[in-house]
């Protein structure tokens, strides 16, 4: 065992966007152009395409499930790994079909940063907006938009600027700020790891440079408290009148004595005890632990409420924005 070696930084990045806008192709290109593919993998996929008389697609490096390759779509989330000079990446490829939105949210929930892909030829679609809202709802702060398939619009600066303007107006409505917009062609390799000669008018970062510019977030236990309420239990035996709020701490740390607020009601109380079955008394618990909590003031709380610390920043979309996109409590989004 070697001691004293510095561990490389690692980051989880989710790729989101409307179906067929090129998410998997972008990831496949990043893997190929950074030399992160297993030896012989690229040749194997190319030969398989020739045998089946199919044109080679970089997306095939990702879509390993048989039914995904036959339909040319991503159904479940897929994780890929590659390295830049700065850090190691876990890239989460998520489905673009609205039917698989639940899978997309599951994948995005593990991400520290996001890349949202928009097809330059097809333009902004409803899912482009739904996914943008979900990034805000999940609290992902580092987000870059890649306007893909620029080769299909003759690398037009005007097309790129129109999409940037239109999508920025939408982002302003949901109060979400992005790091940048990047014109790319994942299939042709334009602006993926280095800047493209086909778009001399673009002076910004490549996709890889944008990834490396993402700031590493604090570990989960050091982030703001997010405790979704799973259930409330009432004990009445032998004069025990406790009401215990049960759930799993998704991020942050909570201590006995902390003042907490529940959303969306914004009711507040203070933690008096951390409860558990057959465990020693605890004064604090952190992200990843499933616990029960007792409150000083008995307030009405419902399953699904989110508990936060009163002195910390609330979720960016802790309260709905009228007329915008909401979760319906199941798997889909709707517009009010």
Distance CA 186, CA 23 (A): 9
In whole angstroms, what is the distance from residue 310 CA to residue 291 CA? 19
All residues at 6 or more sequence positions from 67 whose CB lies less than 8 Å from its CB, including other chains: 75
Are the CB atoms for 1 and 8 separated by under 8 Å?
no
Please write the tens of the pLDDT for every residue from 42-93.
777 777 777 777 777 776 666 543 334 444 443 344 456 778 888 988 887 6
At residue 10 the predicted structure's pLDDT band, cuts being 50, 70 and 90, is confident
Longest dimension (CA), the chain: 78
Question: Measured between alpha carbons, how far is 213 from 179 in angstroms, rounded to an integer?
Answer: 9
3-state secondary structure at position 334: strand
Please report which confidence band the pLDDT of residue 13 belongs to, taking 50, 70 and 90 as the band edges.
Answer: confident
- Indicate if 94 and 242 belong to the same structural domain: no
Are residue 154 and residue 207 in the same domain, yes or no? yes
Whether residue 134 is found in the same domain as residue 268:
no
* Confidence at residue 160, expressed as pLDDT on a 0 to 100 scale: 98
Q: Please identify, among 213, 233, 258, the residue that sits at the C-terminal boundary of a domain.
A: 213
Among 192, 213, 234, identify where a domain stops: 213
Boundary residue ending a domain (178, 213, 248): 213
What is the spatial distance between Cα 59 and Cα 106, in angstroms, rounded to a whole number? 21
In the chain, how many domains are there? Answer: 2
Residues 201 and 225 in one domain: no
User: Which of the two residues, 91 and 204, has the higher pLDDT score?
Assistant: 204
CATH number of the domain within which 195 lies: 3.40.50.300
| CA 297/CA 128 separation, integer angstroms | 43
**Which tens digit of pLDDT belongs to each residue from 158-189?**
999 999 999 999 998 888 888 799 999 999 99
Please check whether residue 334 lies inside any domain of the structure: no
CATH code for the domain in which residue 225 is found: 2.40.30.10
Provide the CA 120 distance to its chain's centre, in angstroms.
22
pLDDT digits (tens, 9 = 90+) for 119-159: 999 999 988 888 788 777 777 888 999 999 999 999 999 99
Contact 204, 271 (CB under 8 A): no
317 within some domain: no
Domain enclosing residue 49, as ranges: 10-213
Q: Report the predicted TM-score, pTM, of the whole model to 2 decimal places.
A: 0.63
């Amino acid at each position: 065992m070697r001691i004293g070696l510095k561990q490389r930084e690692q980051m989880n990045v989710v790729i989101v966007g409307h179906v067929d806008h090129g998410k998997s192709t972008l990831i496949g290109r990043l893997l190929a152009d950074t030399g992160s593919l297993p030896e012989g993998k690229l040749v194997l996929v190319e030969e398989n395409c020739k045998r089946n008389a199919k044109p080679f697609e970089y997306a095939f490096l990702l879509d390993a499930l048989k039914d995904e390759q036959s339909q040319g779509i991503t159904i479940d989330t897929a994780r890929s790994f590659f390295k830049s000079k700065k850090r190691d990446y876990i890239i989460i490829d998520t489905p673009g079909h609205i039917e698989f939105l639940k899978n997309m949210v599951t994948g995005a929930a593990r991400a520290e940063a996001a890349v949202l892909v928009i097809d330059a030829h097809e333009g902004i679609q409803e899912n482009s907006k739904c996914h943008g809202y979900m990034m805000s709802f999940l609290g992902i702060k580092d987000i870059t938009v890649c306007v893909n398939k620029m080769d299909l619009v003759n690398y037009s600066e005007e097309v790129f600027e129109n999409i940037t303007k239109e999508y920025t107006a939408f982002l302003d409505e949901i109060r979400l700020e992005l790091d940048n917009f990047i014109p790319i062609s994942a299939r042709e390799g334009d602006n993926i790891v280095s800047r493209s000669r086909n778009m001399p008018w673009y002076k910004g970062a490549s996709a890889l440079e944008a990834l490396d510019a993402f700031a590493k977030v604090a570990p989960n236990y050091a982030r703001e408290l997010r405790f979704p309420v799973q259930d409330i239990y009432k004990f009445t035996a032998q004069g025990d009148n406790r009401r215990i709020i049960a759930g799993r701490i998704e991020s942050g740390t909570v201590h006995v004595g902390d003042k907490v607020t529940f959303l969306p009601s914004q009711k507040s109380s203070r933690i008096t005890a951390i409860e558990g079955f057959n465990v020693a008394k605890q004064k604090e618990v952190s992200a990843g632990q499933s616990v029960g909590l007792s409150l000083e003031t008995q307030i009405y709380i419902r399953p699904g409420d989110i508990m936060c610390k009163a002195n910390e920043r609330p979720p960016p979309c802790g309260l709905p924005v009228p007329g915008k996109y909401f979760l319906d409590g199941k798997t889909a989004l709707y517009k009010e």
